[in-house]
Amino acid sequence: MVKESDFAWAEEPVPVPPAGGFLVRNLMLAFDPAMRGWIEDRPSYLPPVGIGEVMRGSTVGQVVSSEHPGFAAGDLVQGMLGWQDWVAFGPGAPFVSKLPKGASPTLALGVLGTTGVTAYFGLLDVGRPKAGETVVVSGAAGATGSVAAQIARIEGCRVIGIAGGPAKCAWLTGECGLDAAIDYKREDVGRRLGELCPRGIDVFFDNVGGAILDAALARIALRARVVLCGGISRYNEERPSPGPSNYLNLVVQRARMEGFIVLDYAARFGEAVQRLAQWVAEGRIAWRADVQHGLENAPRTFLRLFRGENFGRQLLEIASPPL
Amino acid sequence: MVKESDFAWAEEPVPVPPAGGFLVRNLMLAFDPAMRGWIEDRPSYLPPVGIGEVMRGSTVGQVVSSEHPGFAAGDLVQGMLGWQDWVAFGPGAPFVSKLPKGASPTLALGVLGTTGVTAYFGLLDVGRPKAGETVVVSGAAGATGSVAAQIARIEGCRVIGIAGGPAKCAWLTGECGLDAAIDYKREDVGRRLGELCPRGIDVFFDNVGGAILDAALARIALRARVVLCGGISRYNEERPSPGPSNYLNLVVQRARMEGFIVLDYAARFGEAVQRLAQWVAEGRIAWRADVQHGLENAPRTFLRLFRGENFGRQLLEIASPPL
């Protein structure tokens, strides 16, 4: 299990951008379970963060000074600016973009950020739900799961969310408009899935893995699609725990289990952000942010994800705009 | 583990077909690992064989008498005629078909039978290999695996087979023309896959499951396809063993693991049989049959599959034509 002492606090002078560059002050930092994989010492879809390097992370920041023609002081920007206060950019094309019009930092890092876009492509492109189908989402109260579940609802599916605790379940069936929610901390997930999905699960959108994935695999419908978005139950294991023992049900049900990485959809992010922003504006996607405060609390805030303590997108406010 | 005493020998008078029907004498019976699932008392893609019923199985038989316009005495037919000597059909449309022209019973039950057709659709439709890709097949010396591996070779892929014992491996790299073979009984499958597939596995065609599937999942390439054809290592388990612990590599590699059942391709069997027959006629697909003798040895012959004793399609000669 990752722990606070895996991170160290370091102070350095505020960087000075080269001529033609600009300086950004980070305002808000977002946390994903996937970040756990970034600090494993093994190759993956992104290189590991090295010891002594700034921890990678999505942020929203504000430009405080600029000689760059594309950015002006006061602009809100987002990008992988890491767990730090200040970032200096040179005169070239920077890996940051301006916030979508009218988007708050919280919304930009949540529904319109990586987690929302992940939900969008994972559900629609990999899961391909059809109206009337039964969609089950694990980690359904999380930043990705809650958006995936609500997109499925918008697409006309019957949607069941799996989450931990009565408050999250009540939010799913209330504000989020899901057809049912299963509290994995109190209920037998397999038995409840059997009751709630008498014709089987057509799309299972998995953020959790472990016993929940196995329970779902046992109840997939013919030609089901299992979307592997993540496996938070496994990210902190020293040695890999057993995989889903019911995987051969993929044969019996002629079903597909498929993983994806949202970075592959980078060229289509605009499409996703536009549709998600529209749905949010129409009040069709409910969302929550869990905002903690102070960069010094970044490690502690990261750990909230693995304890299931966050309710909504896990964010950390580093500073308040405008500076 | 299924055992001989799970089966009983029963004698009855030779059945008499109704008016307009015909009588078939079974000549040759084929065995698949999948038959193990048919005697589990749980629903699957086919109903379980009930206690006291004739065991289900693919056979080639010969029509010995007929009043049916579609069949004449002497015709060779194939179908799911079961572990028995005689089958009587009525005047309607029977669930048997005549053998492809020029096909021996052995060929009709092998490369041109269920196993060959399973290999054809599983590899080409589910696996979708492209020329130049690396294809790995487990159970590669088996009736399905050997055909899948050779179709991949015909399609221009680099093909590695996993099989048990030096004789099977030598056959794969010799007559079958595979690029390499791994002897899972003597070699470290994971290490050898790493050496033989430096750029990863593009298509893994799995007949085995268990540790071999896990070793392959650890080494899949970007956008790999894992074709779940079967899992012979698991068919005789009383309680399900753990699944593949490396399944989350499907996320990292944006890969797909998919099951299929050949019955779904029934409408396209003709296409598969035609192409397979052509390849066999051209000498491009090597095949072997392991022919045992005597219906009374059916249970014992079935068990050979799970002990890895068969080398080639497992068949049992019940009687010799012509009668």
Q: Give the model's pLDDT for residue A48.
A: 92
B-chain residues near A229 (CB < 8 A):
251
B-chain residues near A247 (CB < 8 A):
228, 243-244, 247, 257
Q: What is the DSSP string of A21-70?
A: -EEEEEEEEE--TTHHHHTSSS--SSPPPPTTSPPP--EEEEEEEE--TT
Burial (Cβ within 10 Å: 0-12, 13-18, ≥19) of residue B186: exposed
| Chain A with chain B: Cβ pairs closer than 8 A | 98
Q: Which of A146-155, B43-52, B249-258 has the lowest mean pLDDT?
A: B43-52
CA distance B230 to chain A (A): 7
Q: Which residues pair with A259 in a beta bridge?
A: A228
Q: Which residues contact B303 (CB under 8 A, 6 or more apart)?
A: B2, B3, B4
CA angle, residues B126, B131, B137, in degrees to nearest 5: 50
Residue B137 and residue B161 in contact, taking contact as beta carbons nearer than 8 Å: yes
Residue in chain A lying closest to B46 (CA): A252
A-chain residues near B245 (CB < 8 A):
240-243
A-chain residues near B257 (CB < 8 A):
247, 250, 256-258
* Residues B182-235 pLDDT 10s: 999 999 999 999 999 999 999 999 999 999 999 999 999 999 999 999 888 877
pLDDT band at B77 (very low <50, low <70, confident <90, very high): very high
Backbone phi and psi for residue A316, each to the nearest 5 degrees, phi listed first = -135, 125
Query: A243, B209: Cβ pair inside 8 Å?
Result: no
A-chain residues near B228 (CB < 8 A):
247-248, 250-251
Provide the CB-side half-sphere exposure for B289 (13 A, CA): 22
Burial (Cβ within 10 Å: 0-12, 13-18, ≥19) of residue B43: exposed
Q: Give the model's pLDDT for residue B238.
A: 75
- Secondary structure element (H or E) that encloses residue A90, with its range: none
pLDDT above 90 (res A239): no
pLDDT above 90 (res B295): yes
Block residue for tokens 């901390």: A185
pLDDT above 60 (res B302): yes
* Residues A78-93 pLDDT 10s: 999 999 999 999 998 8
Q: Mutate one of B128, B229, B247, B249 to test the A interface: name it (highest A CB count within 10 A).
A: B247
Residue in chain B lying closest to A44 (CA): B252
CA distance A170 to chain B (A): 30
Q: How far is it, in rounded angstroms, from Cα A164 to Cα A194?
A: 19
Q: What is the DSSP string of B17-44?
A: PPTT-EEEEEEEEE--TTHHHHTSSS--
CA distance A14 to chain B (A): 36
Q: Mutate one of A40, A206, A247, A260 to test the B interface: name it (highest B CB count within 10 A).
A: A247
B-chain residues near A242 (CB < 8 A):
242-243, 245
Q: Tell me whether strands B220-228 and B201-206 are parallel, antiparallel or unpaired.
A: parallel
A-chain residues near B240 (CB < 8 A):
245-246
How far is C-alpha A125 from the chain's CA centre? 17
Nearest to B285 by CA among B274, B273, B276: B276
Query: B209, A248: Cβ pair inside 8 Å?
Result: yes
Residues B277-300 have a mean pLDDT of 96
CA distance B51 to chain A (A): 22
Q: Give the model's pLDDT for residue B28.
A: 97
In angstroms, the Cα distances linking A32 to A38, A230, A313, B54, B197 are 11, 10, 9, 56, 33
CA angle, residues B174, B178, B181, in degrees to nearest 5: 85
Residue among B254, B258, B261 whose CB faces A260 most closely: B254
User: Under DSSP, is residue B65 helix (H, G, I), strand (E, B) or coil?
Assistant: strand
pLDDT above 80 (res B236): no
Residue in chain B lying closest to A262 (CA): B254
In angstroms, the Cα distances linking A196 to A193, A216, B71, B310 are 5, 12, 50, 45
pLDDT above 60 (res A70): yes
The complex's ipTM?
0.87
Q: How far is it, in rounded angstroms, from Cα B96 to Cα B88?
A: 12
Q: What is the DSSP string of A96-152?
A: EEEPPTT--HHHHHTTTSHHHHHHHHIIIIII---TT-EEEEESTTSHHHHHHHHHH
Q: Tell me whether strands B313-317 and B22-30 are parallel, antiparallel or unpaired.
A: antiparallel
Q: Give the model's pLDDT for residue B230.
A: 87
List the 226-265 stretch of B: residues with Cβ below 8 A of A. 228-231, 234, 240-261, 264
Residues A70-84 have a mean pLDDT of 95
| This prediction's pTM | 0.89
Residue B285 and residue A263 in contact, taking contact as beta carbons nearer than 8 Å: no
Residues A206-235 have a mean pLDDT of 93
User: Under DSSP, is residue B66 helix (H, G, I), strand (E, B) or coil?
Assistant: strand
B-chain residues near A241 (CB < 8 A):
245
CA angle, residues A268, A269, A271, in degrees to nearest 5: 70
List the 178-217 stretch of B: residues with Cβ below 8 A of A. 209, 214
Residue B58 and residue B78 in contact, taking contact as beta carbons nearer than 8 Å: yes
User: Under DSSP, is residue B125 helix (H, G, I), strand (E, B) or coil?
Assistant: helix
Residue B161 and residue B207 in contact, taking contact as beta carbons nearer than 8 Å: no
For residues A48, A54, A55, A60, the Cα torsion angle rounded to the nearest 10 degrees is: -130
* Residues A92-101 pLDDT 10s: 887 888 987 7
Q: Give the model's pLDDT for residue A234.
A: 78
CA angle, residues A30, A33, A36, in degrees to nearest 5: 105
Residue among A44, A240, A261 whose CB faces B245 most closely: A240
Q: Give the model's pLDDT for residue B322.
A: 66
Q: Give the model's pLDDT for residue A323.
A: 54
**What's chain A's length in residues?**
323
Q: Give the model's pLDDT for residue A322.
A: 66
**Cis peptide bond upstream of B322, omega within 30:** yes
**Cis peptide bond upstream of A322, omega within 30:** yes
Query: Which DSSP category does B243 fall into?
Result: B
Residue among B240, B249, B257 whose CB faces A250 most closely: B257
Q: Which of A149-153, B41-45, B121-125 has the lowest mean pLDDT?
A: B41-45
Q: What percent of chain B shows pLDDT beyond 70?
A: 99
Q: Which residues contact A160 (CB under 8 A, 6 or more apart)?
A: A134, A135, A136, A137, A178, A179, A180, A181, A182, A193, A196, A197
CA angle, residues A82, A85, A86, in degrees to nearest 5: 90
